[in-house]
Amino acid sequence: MCLYVREISNAEGQRLQRIVRHDRNRIKVRRAQVVLASAQGSKVRAIAARFYYGPAQVRKIINDFNTNGFEALAPKYCGGRPPKFDADQRSLIIEAALCPPHLLGRPFRRWSLEKLREYLIEQKVVGWISLEWLRQILRGGKVKLQRTKTWKECNDPKLASKKN
């Protein structure tokens, strides 16, 4: 038994053609083309070969259109991969970056990405974080770490009198 789309009215056919000709969403256009091909009597395997879909995908599009109508043509986006770090972790990372290191018991004045990462892992804010992820989280929080400048200081107690 062959699967075909349900009987389509003239108004529905015109709407499908309008989608094919004028819609900017390529997924919606291709699905409308599949439905139109089925309405014109093409079989599932022929439609699959013509539009480079698998037969199962063509059957799914036709069945969805038969049950849901034009809502079946819209793309259904999934959530994707869950975020690596939740909002609480991100806020703790940004908060630690904004706090001077010597207030957190560190023997230096400014954070570098490496030192901040070591601190966050040691404090168990995160299990592990790459420098690039850390940079992106800080950039998202509008935090910029400045490059550390080094200088040498003289330990001579009479330096002030010698300078004058």
Domain termination site, one of 42, 73, 104: 73
For residues 68 and 99, state if they share a domain. no
Domain termination site, one of 41, 73, 105: 73
Q: What is the pTM of this model?
A: 0.52
Domain that holds residue 107: 87-140
Q: Total structural domains in the chain? A: 2
- Supply angle C-alpha 26, 31, 33, rounded to 5: 95
For residues 67 and 99, state if they share a domain. no
Query: CA 4 from chain center: how many Å?
Result: 37
For residues 55 and 14, state if they share a domain. yes
| Total residue count of the chain as it appears in this document | 164
Which residue's entry shows tokens 């901040």?
A: 116
**Cα–Cα distance measured from residue 134 to residue 138, given in angstroms and rounded to the nearest whole number:** 6
Which residue's entry shows tokens 């800080």?
A: 138
The per-residue pLDDT for range 23-74, each reduced to its tens digit, is: 999 999 999 999 999 999 999 999 999 999 999 999 999 999 999 999 999 9
The per-residue pLDDT for range 74-123, each reduced to its tens digit, is: 988 888 888 889 999 999 999 999 999 999 999 988 899 999 999 999 99
HSE-CB for 122 with a 13 A CA cutoff: 10
User: Read out DSSP for 64-97?
Assistant: HHHHHGGGGGS------SPPSS-HHHHHHHHHHH
Which residue's entry shows tokens 């630690």?
A: 96
For residues 68 and 95, state if they share a domain. no
Q: For residue 49, what are its two tokens?
A: 């070969």
For residues 16 and 62, state if they share a domain. yes
